[in-house]
A and B are shown apart, each in its own frame.
Chain A
Amino acid sequence: MNNIFLSSKLGKDILPDEVTALFQNSNSWEQKQRAVFHMSRQLVKLPEKYKSDDYLIEGCEANVWLAFQIIGGKIYFLADSDSRIVKGLLGVLLTAVNGVSPQKFSDFELNVYLSQLGLDNYLSASRTSGLGIIEKEIINIFEGLRLK
Chain B
Amino acid sequence: MTDISQLRNNFPALQTLDSKQQIYLDSAATTQTPQSVIDALNNFYASPHANVHRSGHLLGTQTTNQFEAVRKQTAEFIKAPNDSAIVWTKGTTEAINLIVHSWAESNLKKGDGILLSELEHHANLLPWQKLADQKGIVIHWLPIDELGLIDLQQAELLLTPEIKCISLSHASNVTGVINPVQKLFQKARKLGITTLLDGSQTVAHIPIDVSTLNCDFFMFSSHKMYGPKGIGVLYVNPQYFSKMQPWLLGGEMVKKVGYGHAEFQPMPLLLEAGTPNFAGVIGFGAALKYLNSIDRKALMEYESALHDFLMQQLLQFKDIRILGNNRDNSWSDKVPLISFSFSKHQSFDVSALLNEQNIFIRSGYHCAMPMMKKLALSGTIRVSLGLYNNKKDITIMINKLKNTLSLLS
Which A residues fall within an 8 A CB radius of B? 29-30, 33-34, 61-63, 82-86, 121-122, 128-129
Contacts and interface: CB of A to CB of B under 8 A. Distances in A.
Contacts of B357: 29
B349 A85 contact: yes
A61 B346 CA distance: 10
Interface in B80-106: none
Interface in B336-378: 346, 348-349, 352-353, 355-357, 363-364, 378
B379 interface: yes
A19 B408 CA distance: 21
A82 B352 contact: no
Given A83-B349, A84-B408, A129-B352, 11 more contacts: A30-B403, A33-B353, A61-B364, A61-B379, A62-B346, A82-B378, A83-B352, A84-B346, A85-B349, A86-B348, A121-B356
Contact of B355 (A62, A83, A86, A121): A121
Contacts, number: 37
Nearest to A60: B348
Interface in B363-409: 363-364, 378-379, 403, 407-408
B348 A62 contact: yes
B349 A84 contact: yes
Which of B352, B378, B403 has the most chain A CB within a 10 Å cutoff? B352
A62 B379 CA distance: 9
Interface in B236-270: none
A7 to B, nearest CB: 26
9 contacts: A30-B407, A62-B378, A63-B378, A83-B348, A83-B349, A85-B348, A85-B349, A121-B355, A128-B364
B interface SS class: helix
A61 B356 CA distance: 17
Contacts of A33: 353, 356, 407
A121 B359 CA distance: 13
A29 B356 contact: yes
Contact of A85 (B352, B364, B378, B403): B352
Nearest to A63: B378
A66 to B, nearest CB: 17
Nearest to B345: A84
Contacts of A121: 355-356
A128 B29 CA distance: 15
A82 B349 CA distance: 9
Nearest to A130: B348
Interface string B111-132: 0000000000000000000000
A128 B378 CA distance: 14
A29 B346 CA distance: 19
Contacts of A29: 356-357
Contact of A61 (B348, B353, B403, B407): B348
A30 B357 CA distance: 10
Contacts of B364: 61, 128
Contacts of B407: 30, 33-34
Contacts of A84: 346, 349, 408
Contacts of B408: 84
A82 B357 CA distance: 22
A128 B355 CA distance: 13
Nearest to B355: A121
Contacts of B403: 30
Which of A63, A83, A86 has the most chain B CB within a 10 Å cutoff? A83
Contacts of A63: 378
A55 to B, nearest CB: 17
A83 B353 CA distance: 12
A82 B407 CA distance: 17
B102 to A, nearest CB: 31
Contacts of B363: 61
A122 B349 CA distance: 11
A62 B356 CA distance: 17
A82 B346 CA distance: 7
Contacts of A30: 403, 407
**List of 7 A-B pairs having minimum Cβ-Cβ separation, nearest first:** A62-B348, A83-B346, A83-B348, A85-B349, A61-B348, A83-B349, A29-B356
A82 B344 CA distance: 11
Nearest to A86: B348
Nearest to A29: B356
